[in-house]
Amino acid sequence: MDPLQEIQKLRQELNHHNYQYYVLDQPTISDFEYDRMLRQLEELEQAHPEWITPDSPTQRVGGKALDSFAQVVHRVPLQSLQDVFSPEELMEFHARIAQNQAVEYLLEPKVDGLSVALEYENGVFVRGATRGDGMVGEDVTENLRTIRSIPMVVEGAPESLIVRGEVYMPRKTFERLNQERELRGEPLFANPRNAAAGSMRQLDPKVAASRGLDILIFNIQDVKGISFTSDSDSLDYLRGLRFKVIDYLKSSDMEEIQREIQKLGDERGKFPFDIDGAVVKVNNLAERTALGETAKFPRWAAAYKYPPEQKESVVRDIVVQVGRTGVLTPKAVVDPVRLAGTTVTNATLHNQDFITDKDIRIGDTVVVQKAGEIIPEIVSVVTSKRPDGTIPYQLPQQCPVCGAPVVRDEDGAHMRCTGAECPAQLLRNLTHFASRDAMDIDGLGPAVIEALVQAGLVKTAADLYSLKQDEVAQLERMGQKSAENLLSAIERSKGNDLSKLLYAFGIRQVGQKAAKVLAARFGSLEVLAQAGVEELTAIDDIGPITAQYLTQWFASPQSQHLMHSLTQAGVNTLSTAAPVGDRLAGLTFVLTGELTHHSRKEAGAMLEALGAKVSGSVSKKTSCVVAGEAAGSKLRKANELGIPVLDEEQFLQLVSDDPQQYRPILDTITTDK
């Protein structure tokens, strides 16, 4: 078969299977077979790059990152809907429209996501934009290409077609994503809608591609050459074109509409996506035109918004969980109560301040609701039903998992376990320990770490250094060669500089820079562990809070056990990158612009190795600015303040080993200051 014909055939087959899997949820081939076909197409396109097109299934992984989003003026405005909050308000809406005449409505669940418009020309997806203010949105075409339920090519489509849909993050995907973010110590997304909106506005489409977004289409915004008499006809037409279209109920009976709205509300917990209401809209398009619109929204549609369902229950206990970042999270155990389609037996209490502000006690009758239809929370306490003998609740001062002391965050919001070997934090701690900027253990990612922990092979970071190849090879998706490579990477990490080990410990407020300063200043882990707060705060970049965290960490029995175990395993605890000199001690440098021979990070490390301090901003305390090409505001400020400025050639002379080169440059800096 001709290569071009084979490419076209594979694209057609893969698009068909995408539709079966992502739209109909009825896959007809295995993942293996799909991946095999996709690989075959990738190889053909690599051999013939001139035939790669944006609508190819291979292009869904995310293209080149953008600098910003271009603005898009919507050909047809993406309007919002008027809200109604009760059956009475809905009947008022109906009375204004019907005028005692029969009206056929469509009822749809209102997906809580991000509204977008998709544009097709001759059946090819050419552009997608966010709603924005309804008139002007942002071009998010590349991110939308990563959503596999959006067809890149629509067979039998009209010459021009614009459809509107709601991008959402499925609840299961949201939960998985938050678990991964917690493991990496990143802030959690508040709800699926925020996660979807944030994903759609990523400048790098590869990030959006990793988020597992989906879409439901609910309207034709504009179409050329085709007319419809009803909205339901247009939705059925889109479904025939293989779009993933929202389900609807068609009825002229307002009592039936009311019952279905109630049913949707009762069962909204069963949907794979969040809904925050139900949309009621006139089906007949001519009637819509006659009804018209206001400056804000169409008169022919309304969004029935569901209030958070609230019910009373009784707090039987308060249990404390320890998250992967060490944060203590209190949770109320309540009598079972039915909310938003599910049975609730627990409610989050957030933190000590939340408990204290609401004065929540064991035995209290409380009002419970689901925040964002997902997370059960306590709204208030029914103090009139409080039994005698209850006492205010306080979080424990020791970690309920490992017994280590608990400290309050500097922002006052959370209590956190300080245990270096706390089992609750094991996955997160190990992931950080093995990361590139820490011990840099290649091949030891979250999935492998989780497999090692589940197999009982690793309980602390020190256990990594006693792993056996045969044990590791038995893990899922490993094997002898992978195990050999992993153990080699672990062995290599033993020789890392002390600064990488310090950063790997995950001590609060001890980042890479502070770790390098501490390693260079004390030279060994043993000496650093004996340092007091006063000695630590005498060092630049180490403030009193960081010093307190350091002394607390080193005083912990768990930390001492971990350090001893790592030393016994042969992990280096000495600084192998001590300063080669101190001729720049007491001087503060700022780097700006593009350097030719080194990155700014590398140049900064060279200055620090000579005793200098590197800052990110120019001030009166700055000793010198090193300016590369395209230097901007920092260079201007240095000139305004009269601060010495070096070009790249002078910088290289300053950091050289030859006194005849660096001495004149250094004299210039110190004389000027």
Task: Characterize the bridge pairing of strands 624-627 and 588-592.
Answer: parallel
> 4-15 as b/e, with b when 16 or more CB fall inside 10 Å?
eeebeebbeebb
Separation CA 206–CA 63 (nearest Å): 7
Give residue 66's pLDDT: 52
Separation CA 132–CA 114 (nearest Å): 10
DSSP letters, 229-272, are SBHHHHHHHHHHTT--BPP-EEES-HHHHHHHHHHHHHTGGGSS
Domain 82-305, classified CATH 3.30.470.30, yes or no: yes
Give residue 314's pLDDT: 96
SS3 281: strand
- 8 A C-beta contact, residue 407 and residue 395: no
Give residue 209's pLDDT: 87
Whether the pLDDT of residue 671 is over 90: the answer is no
Task: Characterize the bridge pairing of strands 588-592 and 301-305.
Answer: unpaired
Separation CA 203–CA 33 (nearest Å): 32
Separation CA 267–CA 300 (nearest Å): 26
Q: Counting beta carbons within 10 angstroms of the beta carbon of residue 484, is it exposed (0 to 12), middle (13 to 18) or buried (19 or more)?
A: middle
Q: Counting beta carbons within 10 angstroms of the beta carbon of residue 192, is it exposed (0 to 12), middle (13 to 18) or buried (19 or more)?
A: buried
Q: Crossing angle, helix 171-183 and helix 426-434, to 10 degrees?
A: 60
Give residue 317's pLDDT: 96
Separation CA 275–CA 171 (nearest Å): 11
SS3 106: strand
| Residue 243 parent element (H or E) | none
More confident residue, 149 or 342: 149
Give residue 35's pLDDT: 65
DSSP letters, 523-565, are -BHHHHHT--HHHHHTSTT--HHHHHHHHHHHHSHHHHHHHHH
User: Which sequence spans correspond to the domains of the chain?
Assistant: 3-61, 82-305, 310-385, 588-672
Give residue 578's pLDDT: 47
Whether the pLDDT of residue 640 is over 80: the answer is yes
Taking each continuous run of H as one helix and of E as one strand, the counts in the chain are: 25, 22
User: How far apart are the two ends of the chain, measured CA to CA in Å?
Assistant: 76
Separation CA 624–CA 629 (nearest Å): 16
Q: Counting beta carbons within 10 angstroms of the beta carbon of residue 136, is it exposed (0 to 12), middle (13 to 18) or buried (19 or more)?
A: middle
Residue with tokens 């110590």: 185
Query: How many CB atoms are located within 10 Å of the residue 579 CB?
Result: 16
| Residue 378 parent element (H or E) | strand 375-381
Give residue 497's pLDDT: 92
CATH class of 3-61: mainly alpha
More confident residue, 525 or 37: 525
Query: How many CB atoms are located within 10 Å of the residue 581 CB?
Result: 12
Which tens digit of pLDDT belongs to each residue from 532-585? Answer: 999 898 887 788 989 999 999 999 999 999 999 999 999 999 987 544 567 888
Q: Which CATH superfamily is domain 310-385 in?
A: Nucleic acid-binding proteins (2.40.50.140)
Amino acid at 362: I
Strand ranges for 176-213 from DSSP E: none
Ramachandran angles phi, psi of 241, nearest 5°? -85, 5
Separation CA 178–CA 189 (nearest Å): 7
Give residue 340's pLDDT: 65
Which tens digit of pLDDT belongs to each residue from 583-617? Answer: 888 899 999 988 888 888 888 888 887 888 888 88
* Cα 135 → chain centroid: 29
Residue with tokens 């280590």: 404
What does each C-alpha distance from 553 to 43, 221, 284, 531 come to in angstroms? 53, 60, 69, 12
Structure tokens at 38: 């996709």
Give residue 446's pLDDT: 86
Indicate the pLDDT class of residue 367, thresholds 50, 70 and 90: very high
- 8 A C-beta contact, residue 392 and residue 361: yes
Structure tokens at 312: 């009373």
Separation CA 613–CA 341 (nearest Å): 59
Report, as an integer, the average pLDDT of 175-188: 77
Whether the pLDDT of residue 31 is over 70: the answer is no
Which tens digit of pLDDT belongs to each residue from 244-287? Answer: 999 999 999 999 999 999 999 888 878 889 888 999 999 999 99
Whether the pLDDT of residue 417 is over 80: the answer is yes
CATH class of 588-672: alpha beta
* Cα 225 → chain centroid: 43
Mean pLDDT of the chain: 88
Q: Counting beta carbons within 10 angstroms of the beta carbon of residue 532, is it exposed (0 to 12), middle (13 to 18) or buried (19 or more)?
A: exposed
Which tens digit of pLDDT belongs to each residue from 397-416? Answer: 999 999 999 988 766 678 88
Collect all residues with Cβ–Cβ distance below 8 Å to 179 and sequence separation of at least 6: none
Report DSSP state, residue 217.
Answer: E
- 8 A C-beta contact, residue 469 and residue 483: yes
| Residue 289 parent element (H or E) | helix 285-291
Q: What is the CA radius of gyration of the chain?
A: 31
Give residue 11's pLDDT: 82
Least confident piece of the model among 51-60, 202-211, 443-452, 481-490:
51-60
Which tens digit of pLDDT belongs to each residue from 120-158? Answer: 999 999 999 999 888 899 999 999 999 999 999 999 999
Separation CA 458–CA 441 (nearest Å): 15
Separation CA 308–CA 277 (nearest Å): 11
Quick one: which of 325, 326, 351 has its CA closest to 185?
325
Q: Counting beta carbons within 10 angstroms of the beta carbon of residue 296, is it exposed (0 to 12), middle (13 to 18) or buried (19 or more)?
A: exposed
Partnered with residue 588 across adjacent β-strands are: 613
82-305 and 588-672: identical CATH topology: no
Quick one: which of 122, 88, 407, 410 has its CA closest to 254?
88
Query: How many CB atoms are located within 10 Å of the residue 445 CB?
Result: 12
- 8 A C-beta contact, residue 508 and residue 549: yes
Give residue 30's pLDDT: 67
Task: Characterize the bridge pairing of strands 301-305 and 275-282.
Answer: antiparallel
Indicate the pLDDT class of residue 465, thresholds 50, 70 and 90: very high
Partnered with residue 279 across adjacent β-strands are: 108, 303
Active site residues: 110
Sign of the alpha-carbon torsion through 660, 661, 665, 670:
negative
Quick one: which of 673, 426, 431, 453 has its CA closest to 562?
426
Structure tokens at 92: 């008022």
Report, as an integer, the average pLDDT of 632-650: 91
More confident residue, 148 or 295: 148
DSSP letters, 107-129, are EEEEE-SEEEEEEEETTEEEEEE
Question: Above pLDDT 70, what percent of the chain?
Answer: 94
Helix, strand, coil percent values for the chain (each to nearest 5): 40, 20, 40
